[in-house]
Amino acid sequence: MLYAILCYHQEDIVCSWSKEEDDAVMARLAPIQERLARQGKLGPVARLMPTTAATTLRKDRDPPLVIDGPFAETKEQLLGFYLVDCASLDEALAIAKELGEANPGGSYELRPVAFFNPAGASAGSPSKVSA
Amino acid sequence: MDVGWLGATLAAARPQALAALLRAFRDLDTAEEALQEACLRALKTWPQNGPPRDAAAWLIMVGRNVAIDTVRRRKREAPLPDEETLSERDDAEAALAEELDESHYRDDILRLLFVCCHPDLPNAQQIALALRIVSGLSVKEIARAFLTTEAAMEQRITRAKRKVASADVPFEAPSAPDRAARVATVAAAIYLLFNEGYAASGGDAYLRLPLCDEAIRLARLLLRLFPTEPEIMGLTALLLLQHSRAAARLDASGDIVLLDEQDRSRWDRRMIAEGLALLDKAMRHGQPGVYQLQAAVAALHARAERPEDTDWAQIELLYAALERLQPSPVVSLNRAVATWKVRGPQPALELITPLRDALSGYFYFHGLEGALLDKLGRTGEARVAFDRAIALAHSPAEAAHIRRQLDRLNVTATTTPAAAV
């Protein structure tokens, strides 16, 4: 089963990390990601820019409305995501806990993936992570 | 619990908590003391009980109760109760629910920023007050960044506080034009703060770089409050694009490395990407402003992999637009650099000649004039201009840059003139 690990945190906290603190978090995450990749469990990983860089398209009307800023103003913001291929929710939670120890604060939301198209090519079964 | 994380949470909640306390008590010192006490209590209780879901709301609540207790105690000690403050206090209690739902959050923080950047304050006081109050830096840290003593900085901040207390900033939600004026004032102060850090050179330059980080943090805060303002996007983009060069801009001794000579692989790609994304968003609005135009120039430099890849024609157009919006001899001088690269030294020299009086004390004017005269083969005049530039150089790097050109002139003069191109 593919899981998305959606990373939520207060971006003003993350943005106020010094470069050294930020580098230290990334350095702690790197070996975990490398191991998961070796095991064939890791899909795309993304870190998003702050929500100040976001633009929202409201498509519930015609023509759609373009709005500066994130979809919703929330206390914690979606700052990035991982895709992992796990046998069970327990395994996905174990991975999330390990990532969380390297990068404390905030929350991870684990969401099973219903459809995944890694290359934008022919749609396949979402069982394999790496293209 | 990780203490570093605790500090980051308190720092992140600070502007919102302080802004709400300022509205409740209408006095900067009371609000600051209340927040201080609330933070002390947070340091005691959060590590045991875990952090609250909403740190700012927790600090506002505790800070408000602390301040009301203090007011009550003072009441008992004072011979005559101050009716106005008493009713104020009731108002404050009644208003708490409203405060916590953040309906006034945006104007509260803007007010706090505006109070610190009040137009009545000299620039140096605006910046010091914003760093102390909004960013929560200690007087010692600010004094260090401004290369002054703690006592002198303390005095500067006290004086600034006294002045804003008497400036009487209204507490009602501002009208739309007032709000726009406040945003513009705050943006200008953030820009100044950034330049305090960015313009520093020499042995102390590294001490002042944190001012640039703080300015970017405040610009992001302002942009989160006003996410649809293209000029605030432009300001944030400008600061990010400039600061992306920080590592390449200063050599080991803190002297400035000129743009053409910087190791571009050391530019911070993440800051550049964010700056470009923000500028892209801003331009969609079709409302160019001074920050967007400067950010667009910085973006063209950031996009050039080598100095010779720079799109000077576009830079010339941008500076011409900036000249129309904000005429200044320095902007015209910058435009002349682009004119030189695009259309040669003669039109550039014609552009800067009328600037001579205004910029006679400016290093870059004489440096550029010397370079243009040199290109036009007017070696004697070029030498005079370069000599003036050297006398006005602020840093060894600037002086060395000019000296190299002078040396070349001397070599040229003693060899065959035809060899010099």
pLDDT tens per residue across span B33-70: 999 999 999 999 988 888 788 888 899 999 999 888 87
A13 to chain B, any CB pair closer than 8 A? The answer is yes
Question: Which residues of B fall within a CB distance of 8 Å from A69?
Answer: 227-228
Residue in the structure block whose two tokens are 């695009």:
B342
Interface test with B, best of A51, A68, A77, A103 (most B CBs within 10 A): A68
Q: Is B303 in contact with B273 (CB distance < 8 Å)?
A: no
Q: What is the SS3 assignment for B3?
A: helix
Residue B40: both structure tokens together? 């002390």
**For residue A52, is it within any domain?**
yes
Question: Using omega within 30 degrees of 0 as the cis cutoff, is the peptide bond preceding A63 cis?
Answer: yes
pLDDT of residue B103: 55
**DSSP run (H or E) holding A77:** strand A77-85
**For residue A124, is it within any domain?**
no
pLDDT tens-place values along chain B, 421 residues long: 456 678 888 888 899 899 999 888 888 888 999 999 999 999 999 888 887 888 888 999 999 998 888 777 776 665 544 544 444 544 544 455 455 445 577 888 888 999 888 888 888 899 899 999 988 888 998 888 888 899 999 999 999 998 888 887 777 778 888 888 889 999 999 999 999 888 777 777 777 888 899 899 999 999 998 999 999 999 999 999 999 999 999 888 878 888 988 999 999 999 999 999 999 999 999 999 999 999 999 999 999 999 999 999 999 999 999 999 999 999 999 999 999 999 999 999 999 999 999 999 999 999 999 999 999 999 999 999 999 999 998 777 788 888 988 988 877 655 544 443 3
More confidently predicted of A124 and B158? B158
Q: What is the SS3 assignment for A47?
A: strand
**Min Cα separation A115/chain B (Å):** 29
Beta-carbon separation of A50 and B12 below 8 A: no
More confidently predicted of A131 and B180? B180
Which of B2, B220, B228 is facing A50, going by the closest CB pair? B220
CB-based contacts of B406: which residues, under 8 Å, 6+ apart?
Answer: B383, B386, B387, B390
> Which chain B residue lies closest to A103 (C-alpha atoms)?
B5
> Which chain B residue lies closest to A55 (C-alpha atoms)?
B281
Beta-carbon separation of A13 and B274 below 8 A: no
**For residue A122, is it within any domain?**
no
Domain range enclosing A20: 2-112
**For residue A131, is it within any domain?**
no
Beta-carbon separation of A15 and B220 below 8 A: yes
Which of A53, A68, A75 is facing B274, going by the closest CB pair? A53
As a whole number of angstroms, the distance between CA B1 and CA B9 comes to 12
**Residue range A66-114, pLDDT digits in tens:** 999 999 888 889 999 999 999 999 999 999 999 999 998 899 999 999 9
Beta-carbon separation of A12 and B221 below 8 A: yes
Q: Count other C-beta atoms under 10 Å from residue B50's C-beta.
A: 9
Q: What share of chain B is helix, strand, coil (3-state, %, to 5)?
A: 75, 0, 25
**For residue B103, how many C-alpha atoms fall within 13 Å in the half-sphere facing its CB?**
7
Interface test with A, best of B224, B226, B233, B239 (most A CBs within 10 A): B224
Beta-carbon separation of B227 and A68 below 8 A: yes
As a whole number of angstroms, the distance between CA B398 and CA B220 comes to 33
Residue B335: both structure tokens together? 């435009």
pLDDT of residue A124: 46
CA–centroid distance for B261 within its chain: 25
ipTM: 0.84
| Domain count of the fold of chain A | 1
Whichever domain contains A25, its CATH number is 3.30.70.1060
Determine if residue B289 is left, alpha or beta; phi over 0 gives left, psi from -120 to 50 gives alpha, anything else beta: beta
Phi, psi of A68 (to 5 degrees): -75, 140
**For residue A65, is it within any domain?**
yes
Question: Which residues of B fall within a CB distance of 8 Å from A106?
Answer: none
pLDDT of residue B89: 46
Question: Which residues of B fall within a CB distance of 8 Å from A68?
Answer: 227-228, 233, 281
Bridge-partner residues for B256, per DSSP? Answer: B250
**For residue A129, is it within any domain?**
no
Beta-carbon separation of B274 and A50 below 8 A: yes
**Closest to B32 (Cα-Cα) out of B143, B167, B132, B170:** B132
**For residue A63, is it within any domain?**
yes
**For residue A127, is it within any domain?**
no
**Min Cα separation A116/chain B (Å):** 27
